[in-house]
């Protein structure tokens, strides 16, 4: 089953996550108080609604307790961000990621039990979107508008198979440039190299090709 996400706050950061998750085929509910922003995302996200996330009844009516992962990307209103995170926690949301404005904000969010706290000036929305799709996607670095490097942990779909078996270059158009194995780094691995569980693969390619690679070999069912 597809994971379901909600993004609360559709500014530059929240909008970036919303676009990327939608592009990756995830179910996304986009929420903001600003009607213009909601209209902008109604054709991008599965659903886009105008709502006040600090109202617990509204969160219940939206069915947020059934969502797997909620990203709170509220702009400058630190109080609204904290209140929203607190209510999501009380609703029993499985995973909550919150954008922090500063270190003080981060401390409060950690105290109330936010699962992940991110600083958008340090962490790109695109990168975070890939990280939250799967625990096996460890890092995502843009090289250009349409090419990236991704660092992924080998799971059950890859372990015990060689690079020849996986045929990543022919199947997905991506190149495995290195494998991190505990303290060792295997640069330009041989095609006969067998992948072990928890190996970390560093893969380079076009964004659309990396997306197919992630869906088929990285994201666990």
Q: Quick: pLDDT tens for 145-161.
A: 788 888 899 989 999 99
* Residues 179 and 75 both lie in one domain: no
- Chain segment 72-107, per-residue pLDDT in tens: 999 788 999 999 999 999 899 999 999 998 888 889
Summarize pLDDT for 169-189 with one digit per residue, the tens.
999 999 898 899 988 889 888
Answer yes or no: do 43 and 142 share one domain: no
Total Cβ atoms within 10 A of residue 137: 20
CB 26 within 8 A of CB 7: no
Six-digit token string for 172: 């997905």
Residue 195 has pLDDT above 60, yes or no: yes
Q: Are residues 22 and 39 in the same domain?
A: yes
Quick one: 163 and 76 in the same domain?
A: no
Position 145 scores a pLDDT of: 72
Instruction: Look at residue 121 in the predicted model and tell me its pLDDT.
Output: 62
CATH code for position 206: 3.30.70.1450
pTM reported for the whole predicted model: 0.67
Q: What angle do CA 157, 171, 137 make, to 5 degrees?
A: 45
Domain of 183 in residue numbering reads as 123-218
- pLDDT for 39: 95
Measured in degrees and rounded to the nearest 5, phi and psi for residue 112 equal -90, 0
Per the structure, the count of domains in the chain is 2
Q: What is the CATH number of the domain that holds 107?
A: 3.40.50.720
**pLDDT (0 to 100) of residue 149:** 83
* Shared domain check, 74 and 162: no
Nearest to 96 by CA among 69, 126, 60: 69
Say if residue 114 is in the same domain as residue 207. no
User: What pLDDT does 7 receive?
Assistant: 97
């Amino acid at each position: 089953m597809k994971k379901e996400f909600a993004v609360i706050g559709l500014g530059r950061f929240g909008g970036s996550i919303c676009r990327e998750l939608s592009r990756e085929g995830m179910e996304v509910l986009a929420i903001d108080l600003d009607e213009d922003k909601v209209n902008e995302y109604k054709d991008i996200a599965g659903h886009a609604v105008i709502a006040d996330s600090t109202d617990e009844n509204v969160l219940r009516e939206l069915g947020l307790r059934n969502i797997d992962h909620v990203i709170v990307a509220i702009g400058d209103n630190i109080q609204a961000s904290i209140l929203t995170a607190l209510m999501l926690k009380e609703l029993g949301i499985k995973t909550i990621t919150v954008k922090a404005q500063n270190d003080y904000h981060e401390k409060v969010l950690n105290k109330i039990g936010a699962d992940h706290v991110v600083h958008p000036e340090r962490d790109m929305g695109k990168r975070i979107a890939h990280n939250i799709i799967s625990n096996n996607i460890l890092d995502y670095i843009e090289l250009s508008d349409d090419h990236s490097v991704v660092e992924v942990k080998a799971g059950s779909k890859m372990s015990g198979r060689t690079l020849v078996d996986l045929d990543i270059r022919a199947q997905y158009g991506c190149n495995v440039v290195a494998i991190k194995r505990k303290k060792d780094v295997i640069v330009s691995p041989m095609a006969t190299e067998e992948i072990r569980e928890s190996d970390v693969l560093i893969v380079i390619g076009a964004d659309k090709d990396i997306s197919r690679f992630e869906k088929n070999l990285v994201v666990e069912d």
